[in-house]
Amino acid sequence: MQTLEITPAAEELLLEDAPHQFVFSFHEGNGKNKQLLGGKGANLCEMTQIGLNVPPGFVISTEACLTYLASADKSLPAGVIDQVVENMKAVEIATGKKFGDAENPLLVSVRSGSALSMPGMMDTILNLGLNEDTLQGLLNHTKNERFVFDAYRRFIQLFGKVALGVPDAKFDEVFEAQKHKAGVKVDIGLSAADLKEISRLFLQVVKDVTGKPFPTDVYEQLEIAIKAVFNSWTGKRAVDYRREFNITPQMANGTAVNVVAMVFGNMGNDSATGVAFTRDPGTGENIFFGEYLVNAQGEDVVAGIRTPKAVIELKTEMPSLYQQLEELRSKLETHYKEVQDFEFTIEKGVLYCLQTRNGKMNATAMVRTSVEMAKDNILSKNEALLRIKPDMLEQLLHPRLDSLHKSIPLAQGLPASPGAASGVCVFDADRAELLGRAVEKVILVREETKPEDIHGFFASQGILTSRGGKTSHAAVVARGMGKPCVAGAEGIEVDVKLRQARIGEKTLHEGDYITIDGGTGYVYQGVIPTVDPTFSDELKLLLTWADEVAKLKVFANADDPDAAKKALTYGAMGIGLCRTERMFNASERLPIVVEMILANTEEERKAALDKLLPIQRQDFKDILLAMAPRPVTIRLLDPPIHEFLPGEDELKEELIHLRHLKDTAAGVSNLTNSLRLLHAENSMGALTAFPFNDKGVELIDQAIVKKEQMLKKVHELHEVNPMLGHRGVRLGLTFPEIYKMQIRAVLEATAECQKVHIDVRPEIMVPQVCTAEELVRVKAYVEEIKAEVQAQHNVTPVFKFGTMIEVVRACMEAGELAKEAAFFSFGTNDLTQATFSFSREDAENKFLPLYAEKNILHDNPFEVLDTNGVGKLMKVAVEWGRKEKPDLKIGICGEHGGQPDSIRFCHQLGLNYVSCSGPRVPVARLAAAHASLGEAKNASL
């Protein structure tokens, strides 16, 4: 539990004799000193001092609060009451009203306000100063008996609860009884007389519970209220809130109290109340955006009994006040350099600004206002950039659920790839392809996915899995394709055979519509409308400003020509990671890859590779051409090859099916073909497409042999910890022909382009390197093939050769590696796994949630780069690498490459580029600019 801390200043005060300033009028208080005055108090002071017409009032400081709370007898510090009285006099003069006066009574609100916003966590009392006498004065001024008694009964209840500790239930009981008696269902139905009666009864409740009559002395009311607000700082609600949000004493220590004259917009037709934004918060358009009601209170605008008018109508209704409001609007933006969301009240022809704060806007509006405010010289370009949190841009780049449609989620998984999509659920890739072709929108729902499901990805709008984390196959592939994905939704049980999934009591059948939101991880039943992404001219302009100040280049991860072209539209300055194995997954290629894996001899393997060569060459050529003259970093095969084979369980099941089919086929061999087909369909489910002619049994036998071979290979290739297994360069050195094929494909594609003077810039990258010797060996393959390609094409292919740094040992050997490599690319996904000894897939399902909840780790290191561990290794690698080769190009291509904090760290390390998924490129460009600007700012301090 958070304990109360007495600051040294407060302690000193406890010992002091002379009176000390605890109370500050809005004209005196330092608008920047939130620690002393609280956020709200400082804001009121600032508004007052820049000349806005704020209702007069004053702040009682947080120091007063802490001193009070630490006092043995819970008495207000010496001088506070005197200073309050003195300030009340000033308020009386400013308002022309008198506190406790029966003619023209001054009423005040008493509100808490700490340095850090803690919405609703502490207490507020309105209309303080009411008693039987002052009521009359208020009635004279408002001519609204109902309003006055409503205000009165509210004051009694709030004060009773907050200041006197009367349980709310006591009041509610009385209130409900009165409603029943009056025969009304809603509060609004109560008449002035009812409310008057309720006020009377409330006073009785207070007397019954506290044993004392409700205080009628207004200064007594005020003192009790101030103490009550101070006490609320150590109340359960506030303490829990601070614990929940980790608010330390450094962030907010004690609450201030704001005492403000009440103003009323319901004092007649020369009064009004309203709320407004200085610009349209939905679109960012530079128009005055707001609503008001004449002769009304703030809560009437919200209550919806009367329809508020657009603020523009005030122009005709109260032209001079509209003019003042326009001036207010302009003053606010010029001063705050930010779109403001403010409240105003007109009391008898006088405009008051009650509150202002930065307007909450969506990303579209943020971008537009940034650009326009910069053009209008309200902001500098750099301020315009810094105003937008990079992550916010993400909203603009994926379809998202229409926020107008609320719905209760069916299940929740991990938000694995952003964006939202709806479609009918299907439970295997073949069905997805089939139904997807039938122009149905499809969501592929699987326990987990494998490379062989890839055709299902192509056919689907989005992917939902019940197992796996944010680096599961499904997540990574979906992100690469820019499709939404929810992964590891553990509540869902998929039954492929029955073509259904169970979620608790509910069953989803194939064909039922669902909607997934890859930004939140929620899964909904039915179709929820989505909003398409917009890449506006303003955004484009803003990002060119970002590029001008950023030191880091921003590359994209893209695995095929289409993705490369798409990355260009996001402003990618190159490809930082092209995962060549992804090219293996297309449905016409996977069989060749499987053939290669099943090969028993080097010759068989080479024969399969010979078929892959022209395909990869064409892919590389298309990507290189699309990106020319930007660099394209091509990573040689990385994953363990068993990833290209189906799983053991699946193969076993298929074999059972096939054997069953064989028996059946043999058994029905004297039936007609059509009957057999029917029969097979009934007994086989997904395998109906099996060619079932007269040679059926023979074909089935062949299929059985093939599947048995695959099963054997799957056993052979089984690994205990595949993440740390036979993959990357280890595979490349064990089966040199695979890497040689890939290198040849790159260099031939390069030569073909460079021969006709197209400036393509391939960079060959070796994954999983742990020692320089591995690079030396692969470099030898490269040199050998380069010579052959040169001879064949009569042109020297120009390219770079470099290495991933994703193994811890590679960091330790960075100097040696730099001798062999022209560039380094940090693979921080794997590096983080190895540095923490966390398998991401396991950690995110098993213990990372607990580590986050208990704050053992501040951030998920797979989302935010761990600068204390992984970062130190990277620093060492950069230092040692550049010491050996000062012009070493260094980048990052892990997922952290698109995360703003991590990008800032990469900037500080002096990297040359970050690479991230296409849709994160704009985010990264802005973050890179922020990093430069942040450094400049620090340098100027």
Q: Which is nearer to a copy of itself, 678 or 770 (CB)?
A: 770
Helices (H), 288-413: 298-303, 314-317, 319-336, 363-375, 381-386
DSSP single-letter state for residue 162: I
426 Cβ contact list (under 8 Å, min separation 6): 432, 435, 442, 443, 444, 445, 456, 460, 499, 510, 511
Q: Which is nearer to a copy of itself, 830 or 895 (CB)?
A: 830
Other CB atoms closer than 10 Å to residue 796's CB: what's the count? 13
- Total residues contacting a copy of itself by CB under 8 A comes to 49
- Asked whether position 770 contacts a copy of itself by CB under 8 A, the answer is yes
813 sits near a copy of itself (criterion: CB under 8 A): yes
User: Which of these segments, 220-228, 558-566, 601-609, 801-809, binds a copy of itself (CB under 8 A)?
Assistant: 801-809
Q: Which residues pair with 890 in a beta bridge?
A: 824
- 579 known member of a binding site: yes
The answer to whether residues 425 and 498 touch, using CB atoms and an 8 Å cutoff, is: no
* CB of residue 258 to a copy of itself, shortest distance in Å: 39
Contact 454, 594 (CB under 8 A): no
Among 25, 6, 123, CA closest to 68: 6
Q: What's the CA gap between 544 and 768, in Å, rounded?
A: 35
Does the annotation place 829 within a ligand binding site?
yes
850 binds a copy of itself (CB under 8 A): yes
Task: Mark residues 721-750: x for contact with a copy of itself by CB under 8 A, - for none.
Answer: xxxxxx---xx-xx----------------
Looking at beta carbons only, is 278 or 835 nearer to a copy of itself? 835
Greatest distance between any 2 Cα atoms in the chain: 112
How many Å apart are CA 108 and CA 601, to the nearest integer?
90
> Does residue 872 belong to the site contacting a copy of itself (CB under 8 A)?
yes
806 assigned binding-site residue: yes
Which among 96-104, 111-119, 772-780, 903-911 is the span making contact with a copy of itself, rule CB under 8 A? Answer: 772-780
Range in contact with a copy of itself (rule: CB under 8 A) among 61-69, 458-466, 506-514, 840-848? 840-848
195 or 651: CB nearest a copy of itself: 651
Instruction: Give the one residue of 245, 673, 842, 937 binding a copy of itself; rule: CB under 8 A.
Output: 842
Which of the following is catalytic: 893, 896, 906, 907? 893
Asked if 615 and 588 count as a contact pair (C-beta separation under 8 A), the reply is no
Q: Does 869 bind a copy of itself (CB under 8 A)?
A: yes
CB 398 within 8 A of CB 533: yes
Q: Quickly list DSSP for 805-873.
A: E-SHHHHHTHHHHHHH-SEEEE-HHHHHHHHHT--HHHHHHHTHHHHHHTTSSSS-TTTS--TTTHHHH
Stretch of 26-34, 264-272, 585-593, 849-857 contacting a copy of itself, by CB under 8 A: 849-857
Q: Which of 44, 626, 834, 929 binds a copy of itself (CB under 8 A)?
A: 834
Q: Which of 146, 595, 851, 859 touches a copy of itself (CB under 8 A)?
A: 851
Of 200, 777, 779, 793, the one binding a copy of itself (CB under 8 A) is 777
Q: Is 473 a catalytic residue?
A: yes
Cα–Cα distance for residue pair 715/12, rounded to 1 Å: 75
Shortest gap between Cβ of 768 and a copy of itself (angstroms)? 6
| 3-state helix vs strand vs coil in the chain, percent to 5 | 50, 15, 30
* 784 near a copy of itself, rule: CB under 8 A: no
Report in angstroms how near the CB of residue 252 gets to a copy of itself at its nearest: 24
Q: For residue 650, give the amino acid letter.
A: E
Among 369, 833, 899, 902, binds a copy of itself (CB under 8 A): 833
Q: Quick check: 870 binds a copy of itself (CB under 8 A)?
A: yes
Instruction: Report if residue 672 touches a copy of itself, rule: CB under 8 A.
Output: no
Pick 613 or 717: Cβ nearer a copy of itself: 717
Query: What burial letters (b/e) apply to 610-640, b meaning 16+ CB within 10 Å?
Result: eebbebbbebbbbbbbbbeebbbbbbbbbbb
Alpha-carbon distance values, 248 to 36, 112, 239, 241, 245 (Å) = 16, 18, 11, 11, 9
Which is closer to a copy of itself, CB of 869 or CB of 934?
869
Question: Rounded distance, CA 162 to CA 227, Å?
Answer: 10
Taking the C-alpha atoms of residue 904 and residue 191, their distance in angstroms, rounded to an integer, is 61
Catalytic residue among 20, 455, 473, 930: 473
Between 391 and 448, CB nearer to a copy of itself? 448
Q: Scan for tokens 């029917």, then name that residue.
A: 678
893 a catalytic residue? yes
Query: Counting contacts by CB under 8 A, is residue 719 touching a copy of itself?
Result: yes
Amino acid at 183: G
- Give the DSSP H/E element, type plus range, for residue 802: strand 800-805
* 830 marked as part of a ligand binding site: yes
The answer to whether 883 contacts a copy of itself (rule: CB under 8 A) is no
Give me the residue label for tokens 């990106």: 627
Residue 2 or 771 having the CB closest to a copy of itself: 771
Q: Does the annotation list 827 as a binding residue?
A: yes
**One residue of 316, 837, 938, 940 binding a copy of itself per CB under 8 A:** 837
Other C-beta atoms closer than 10 Å to the C-beta of 58 total 27
Q: Which of residues 509 and 872 has its CB atom nearest to a copy of itself in the complex?
A: 872
Judged by the rule CB under 8 A, the positions of this chain that interact with a copy of itself are: 719-726, 730-731, 733-734, 768, 770-771, 773-774, 777, 806-809, 812-813, 830, 833-839, 841-843, 846-847, 850-851, 854-857, 866, 868-870, 872-873
Residues with active-site annotation: 473, 893
Task: Give the residue numbers of the binding site.
Answer: 579, 635, 806, 827-830
